[in-house]
Structure 1
Amino acid sequence: MGRRLNDPEHSRFASLILLSVALFSCVLVYAVVSTFLNPNVGSQDSSFESLEMVASGDLGERKDECCRGIENLELWGPAVKWGSEFKFNSSVECCQACKTMCSGNDGPCLCDTWVFCGNKEACGSRFGECWLKKQKDPLSPDRQDAGKSIIWTSGLIFGKGEGIVGMETEYGTLHIKLFPGCAPYSVAYILELLTMRHCVGCQFYRAESRGQSWDSEGNHIKDLEKKNSSNSSFEGQSF
């Protein structure tokens, strides 16, 4: 026959149950409040994902958002697709065709250069030709010709682990991943500098909007307001 609980023991168990319920409620409330008051929790996951992308060499090109080239430029090199038999309606489609040959994780890209003829009047029967090529050295592409008379538009594509240059500074070596599909002219300029083997005295600037802190002449608005305020105070004084 089971032993009947007396009143003190019954009260003790009831207190333990109430204490457990109270602790569980506190934990639940804390979790809910933390979620609403700390919206950066989700962004931390995104930050970790971004770090993983940097470590793996995937820095945004996986979305294929950028497919720009340089007009009036013809890049040379062995053809992997002959344009006379390979045509598209736009340079973006030609670029995408090259990217599909550069999506593997093993080995170099089968295509790292695309050349497209997109001016109907100038190209004539060659309109839409898309030549896919492979460079011996992607950082030093073989250039056939350039100028206003050139009917071709050309672009480069760097695969995983390619298109990374090092810039030695007094603070150490900066490793820079180039995106020719997003900034073809900037990348072309950097590749031109690489042929010099040194860049003593070179200065690099980050292009960004001036926002609300600078005027159209490059003056800091707060400093300008302070200067105008000082001038107004000086003019208000009587001698």
Structure 2
Amino acid sequence: MKLYKYGGLFSVLTLIVVAVVFAQWRNGQRKITRVEVSFAENRHDFLDVETVNKLLILNQELSTIGVKDTLALSSIEAGLEAYAVVWNAEVFTSPSRVLTVSVEERIPLLRIIGNETYYVDIEAVKVPLSEHFTAHVPLFFGTPSEKQTEALVGFMQKINTDDFLKKEIVQIEDQDGDYLLKIRSYDFIIEWGEFTSFEQKAVKLKTLCKYLDAVEEKPDFTRINLKYNQQVIASS
């Protein structure tokens, strides 16, 4: 009798386990019914919801994806991140069969104008221009190599940590390995030289601009040179 009793209990437990596993499997096979798209920090300069939906349709047949189809979800993320303007994509599903797509765009740091025209971001990745959006970032005139692009990105990161320079720098130009800068509030060209001694050169430039703001009669020069230690050389 005891063996029969325990055997019956084992059978019941087995049926319960099978039922739970089957229910989980069935739940995982349920198909997506709706897609919700969001953008990190609500920033969507290059893309909009309609564009992301089109990209999703191009990459996957959404109606065939199961709620717990992790391989398909990973494939969607990889497909979105293959687009140059997308920095990160996260895709997940809910028990109510909603596919949620969160997209984070790349943020332009500098606009390159040379043999090609494009933006670069903080990772030195090329970001294509958009017909619907223009980033207000400094312009670089030239065709930089990969190494030079990385140096430009490093320089711009330093620029963006300084409130004055971030507001003022509007243009950078390569002249045989030396760099010429233009700023927003003054007409003179700045001979910055190589991307070295950033702090010293920044202090000299800001000190000069502060002096020019304080005097009534502006000096007559069109160019300043910051390349030499503890000197600012002005010329016409």
More strand by percentage: 2
Query: Under a length normalisation based on structure 2, what TM-score does the superposition of the two structures give?
Result: 0.29
Query: Under a length normalisation based on structure 1, what TM-score does the superposition of the two structures give?
Result: 0.29
Query: Between Structure 1 and Structure 2, whose CA radius of gyration is higher?
Result: 1
Structure with larger RCO (C-alpha < 8 A, sep 6+): 1
